Chain A
Amino acid sequence: MPDRENIRRDVVRVVADIADLPVEQVTAEATLQDLGIDSLTGLRIVAEMEKRYKINVPEEAIGGIRSIRDILRLVDDHTPDS
């Protein structure tokens, strides 16, 4: 089972990098709107998640992403059990 804490840190780091934000600002509760992450950046984040974790996020699910927690949940939901 992938280590949840490691994944959380990794996701936060990737989001911070793509969205050009300090890592400390990217908390699990933060909404994409709060962080000023627009739709294009959101698409890139999802694409990066798919690449890193070998997951496939259905297009319908992308529109429902509102917060960092939603991203973490997506990764969790779509990562196959080891």
Chain B
Amino acid sequence: MIESREPAGDCVVTAVGLIAPAGRTSRGLHDRLCRGDPCWRPSPASPPGGAEDVEPAAASIGGFNIKEFLDRRGSKDLSRTSQLACAAAAPLAGGLKDVAPEAIGIVLGTGWGSLPSVVAFEWETCTLPVRQVNPLLFAETVSNAPAGQVSIQFGWSAFNLTVSSGAASGLAAIAEGSDLLSAGRAEVVIAGGADAINFEALRVLRAEGTAASDPGSLPFSRSRSGLIGGEGACLFALESPASARARGAPELARLRGARLRYTPEMDASPAGCPDAVAALLQDLLDGTGLGARDIQLVVASACGSPGGDRAEARAIDAVFGGAPGQPMVVAPKGVLGETWGASGPLAIAAAVESMRARRVPGRPRGFAPDPELPPLDIPSGPREARVRNAVVLARSGAGHLVAVLLSETEDRHAA
């Protein structure tokens, strides 16, 4: 029988690999966040088949060439999502050489999954006889292809799991990864998320008002009007503290707990369901034995959604706000855009780097406080501060909620 244990016990983050428009390292990402310089612009890229419209503003990774990350043949035939996932995994491989590949498992979160490949393959089946359609493209129409390609590239074979819950996918993957780790299914778990820029989805989202038409839309900001699309991939190596110590791996941060919930249609509801978010955050604190005043940083999931950001702000205020000592609040999507499956992991990377550098990013350029939101401590510029504990939140428009609590470790100077 399967033995029960406490859910999602302690584990440590010992490595990070990422690729985003803001950079390829945690420091690069953090620098860009501290500069408050949004990564997006209206994109001139055109989709397959051509379109007359101007594309929605999006933060894409310009000049991305998978060959810079992998010398694997055929890598150019992988979907962009698979390429991004492999690119994020590449920096982790070097530090895992002393771990048996069959002891390393993968959990990847992706919001859109293979949607771009599905659209491309469908079009190919319309224009070509079936004997001519690209079988590699078909192989990429399954949403577990990115995780599968990472395992093929690096040989990590303990297990391979893909999860999908919109913009909360990556943080959910990390929560599940830590649970699989503490269940003993691997010695090291590579967990995170990936999503490629997806103009098909963005055009639809813009038409329905979820994606902003105004590129000046920023999280928590007064004139926010919706999300700005992005892309990226971010993966962490998670292991037990004992395993990290035994192999001399740097402890970048400690993952103290995770909570997952579902509350339908947060954005659509006028009240925006702040209670559910607040309850999740409180439950997370209670489970780790920490109080609101022990948290110095909250990394929000806010993406520029009028209702969703309001719900989140109210929830953060309900749990952490009020008296002096409330945590600083950072919303990385104001620089990165909405990176879907990568968003939660990138937020963790931002938190971990903020802990290491003892510096918290401030508001992005163009931010204007919204008087209708509770007074959160969103620093006006980068602030020197020691972050002992951080809460990272992920929220999908459809209502998936995930929150994780990270603590600093003594290993501050780890790369």
A contacts B directly in the complex (CB < 8 Å)? yes
The answer to whether the Cβ of A54 comes within 8 Å of any Cβ in the partner chain is no
Q: B74 at the A/B interface (Cβ < 8 Å)?
A: yes
Report B75-89 residues with CB < 8 Å from chain A CB: 75-77
Partner of B74, one of A20, A43, A47, A50: A20
Contact B132 A47 (CB under 8 A): yes
Asked if B139 is at the interface of the complex by the 8 Å CB criterion, the answer is yes
- The total of interchain contacts (Cβ-Cβ below 8 angstroms) comes to 24
B131 within 8 A of A: yes
A61 contacts partner chain B, Cβ-Cβ < 8 Å: no
Q: Which residues B120-138 have CB closer than 8 A to chain A?
A: 131-132, 134-136
Whether B131 contacts A50 by the Cβ 8 Å rule is yes
Contact A36 B73 (CB under 8 A): yes
Give the residues in chain B near A41, CB-CB below 8 Å: 74, 136
Asked if A1 is at the interface of the complex by the 8 Å CB criterion, the answer is no
Closest chain A residue to B76, Cβ basis: A20
Checking A19, A40, A47, A50 against B139 with a beta-carbon cut-off of 8 angstroms, the contacting residue is A40
Min CB gap A37→B, angstroms: 9
Q: Mark B101-132, 1 if CB is under 8 A from A, else 0.
A: 00000000000000000000000000000011
B127 → chain A, closest Cβ, in Å?
12
- How many chain A residues touch B (CB < 8 A): the figure is 11
**Quick check: A44 and B131 within 8 Å, CB to CB?**
no
**Which residues of chain A are near B77, meaning CB under 8 Å?**
20
Q: Is the CB of A44 within 8 A of B134?
A: yes
Give the distance to chain B from A26, nearest Cβ to Cβ, in Å. 13
In this complex, what residue of A is CB-closest to B73?
A: A20
CA distance A47 to B137 in the complex (A): 14
- Give Cα A19 to B72, complex, Å: 11
Partner of B132, one of A20, A40, A50: A50
Instruction: Say yes or no for A72: interface residue by CB 8 A criterion.
Output: no
Count how many chain B residues have C-beta atoms less than 8 Å from C-beta atoms of the other chain: 11
Does chain B have a CB within 8 A of A65? no
A20 contacts across to B, CB distance below 8 A? 73-77
Bound-state CA distance A20–B76 (Å) is 9
Which single member of B73, B75, B76, B135 contacts A43 (CB below 8 Å)?
A: B135
Asked if A14 is at the interface of the complex by the 8 Å CB criterion, the answer is no
**Given the complex of chains A and B, what is the CA–CA distance between A33 and B347 in angstroms?**
44
The 8 Å CB contact of A19, one of B73, B132, B134, B135, is B73
Is A40 touching B131 in the complex (CB atoms < 8 A)?
no
Q: Give 1 or 0 for each of A4-20: 1 = CB within 8 Å of chain B CB.
A: 00000000000000011
User: Are A47 and B73 also in contact (CB < 8 A) when A40-B136, A40-B139 are?
Assistant: no
Residues in A with CB closer than 8 Å to B73 are: 19-21, 36
State whether A44 touches B135 (Cβ < 8 A).
yes
| Bound: A27/B135 CA distance, A | 25
Complex CA–CA separation, A36 to B152 (angstroms): 14
Complex contacts, A40 vs chain B, CB 8 Å: 135-136, 139
* Complex contacts, A21 vs chain B, CB 8 Å: 73
- Complex CA distance for A20 and B132, rounded to whole angstroms: 19
Q: Write out, one digit per residue, whether chain A residues 47-76 have a CB within 8 A of any chain B CB (1) or not (0).
A: 100110000000000000000000000000
With A20-B77, A36-B73, A40-B136 already in contact, 19 other A-B pairs whose C-beta atoms are closer than 8 Å: A19-B73, A19-B74, A20-B73, A20-B74, A20-B76, A21-B73, A40-B135, A40-B139, A41-B74, A41-B136, A43-B135, A44-B134, A44-B136, A47-B131, A47-B132, A47-B134, A50-B131, A50-B132, A51-B132
Interface residues of B (CB under 8 A from A): 73-77, 131-132, 134-136, 139
A residues lining the B interface (CB < 8 Å): 19-21, 36, 40-41, 43-44, 47, 50-51
Q: Ordered nearest first, which 6 A-B pairs have the shortest CB separation?
A: A20-B73, A40-B135, A43-B135, A47-B132, A20-B74, A40-B136
